[in-house]
Amino acid sequence: CKAFCESGDFDEGEFVDDAMTQDELDDGFCLPCQAKPHSDMVLQIRTTSILAKTGPETFQAEVTKVGALSDTVFELELEVEDRERLNFLPGQYVNITVPGSEETRSYSFATGPQEDKIAFLIKNTPNGLMTNWLKNVAKVGDKLKFEGPMGSFFLREPLQPILLLAGGTGLAPVMSIMESLANDELLDVPVRLIYGANTNVDLVRLEEIAAYKDRIADFDFFTVLSQEDDHERKGFVTNHMDPSEHLADGEADAYLCGPPPMVEAVRTYFDGHDTPPLNFYYEKFNANQQPGAKTGEEVAEKAEKTAAKVGV
């Protein structure tokens, strides 16, 4: 429970070196389970989604919508059994078991925590296991199961100007975050979104994003395309970031989600920046993060071998 004490006086109580060292105490840390406050205190506490009471559970769900939003992005909408049991924070993800296999793939909620149905934005990955299911098999009424919610990438209390950076289907958790911000009656900080993708085909949900201009008092966004010559803003999201508009001159909370190379590029950019964000949270859409996960081709190969063995 070690926490950093920003202000206030306290008696540190008793503690062992394993829990906190004398040096850490001298540096301003305390153990809230032992310390006795002498005044009001402000503590920096490292929380996780587990502490936020959103630990993972298994859920059954039925497909209520499935299809391609564009040549490169699928949408999957689900009605969850015992929806009231599913509490998640905007930005978190679940592991969906791909129907017809025992493999799981991770997907971030693209809907806000308050919405009845949940939805996902899924990239069309040629020969991918989930992709093949979405493209060739999935239909309304299909059943599937998922485990979640998971992840420490989620919207924190919006106290500073917010910069949202989405790369490709990294838009999904950002949509969930924007939906929560739109429902936050106390929100009084500016929200900016830079949505990057390769080509025009990758851009989805633009009307829904634009509609947030009517629902979030101070919201604006633009798109950046890396491979489209005639787009208004060509290049990467970092080429079009304005220190005052987007980084609030070092006061912003930045949330970034996208493919690993994009996340690394933005991290490097912030590292060398004069006014990087005050807080920076990110999620990488790594492929097959779960240990032992098999890709679409491996599962197909195994199915063929099994079929050959039983003489199909």
Ligand X SMILES: Cc1cc2nc3c(=O)[nH]c(=O)nc-3n(C[C@H](O)[C@H](O)[C@H](O)COP(=O)(O)OP(=O)(O)OC[C@H]3O[C@@H](n4cnc5c(N)ncnc54)[C@H](O)[C@@H]3O)c2cc1C
Residues that bind ligand X (CB under 6 A): 93, 105-108, 120-123, 125-131, 151, 169, 172, 283, 285-289, 295-298
Nearer to ligand X, 127 or 244 (CB): 127
- Share of the chain residues as helix, strand and coil, in percent rounded to the nearest 5: 25, 30, 45
Tokens of 12: 């540190």
Nearer to ligand X, 129 or 163 (CB): 129
Nearer to ligand X, 120 or 154 (CB): 120
Which residues, listed in sequence order, are joined to residue 79 by a DSSP beta bridge?
62
Which residues, listed in sequence order, are joined to residue 144 by a DSSP beta bridge?
61
Nearer to ligand X, 72 or 223 (CB): 72
Nearer to ligand X, 226 or 288 (CB): 288
Instruction: Give the span between the Cα atoms of 301 and 6, in whole angstroms.
Output: 57
Nearer to ligand X, 244 or 286 (CB): 286
Instruction: Give the span between the Cα atoms of 44 and 6, in whole angstroms.
Output: 7
* Minimum distance of ligand X from residue 253's CB (angstroms): 20
Tokens of 85: 């049991």
* Minimum distance of ligand X from residue 280's CB (angstroms): 17
CA 115 centroid distance within chain: 17
Residue spans of beta strands (DSSP E) within 113-233 = 118-123, 143-150, 162-167, 191-197, 219-225
- The type of residue at 241 is M
Nearer to ligand X, 121 or 197 (CB): 121
Instruction: Give the span between the Cα atoms of 298 and 304, in whole angstroms.
Output: 10
Matching residue, tokens 């070690």: 2
* Minimum distance of ligand X from residue 298's CB (angstroms): 5
* Minimum distance of ligand X from residue 179's CB (angstroms): 15
Whose CA is closest to 97, among 169, 50, 148? 148
* Minimum distance of ligand X from residue 257's CB (angstroms): 8
Nearer to ligand X, 167 or 190 (CB): 167
Q: Which residue is nearest to ligand X (CB)?
A: 128
* Minimum distance of ligand X from residue 116's CB (angstroms): 19
Instruction: Give the span between the Cα atoms of 88 and 25, in whole angstroms.
Output: 34
* Minimum distance of ligand X from residue 225's CB (angstroms): 18
Report the side by side order of strands in the sheet with 219-225: 219-225, 191-197, 162-167, 253-258, 279-284
Backbone angles phi, psi at 184, to 5 degrees: -90, 105
Instruction: Give the span between the Cα atoms of 94 and 112, in whole angstroms.
Output: 14
Nearer to ligand X, 29 or 154 (CB): 154
Instruction: Give the span between the Cα atoms of 224 and 231, in whole angstroms.
Output: 8
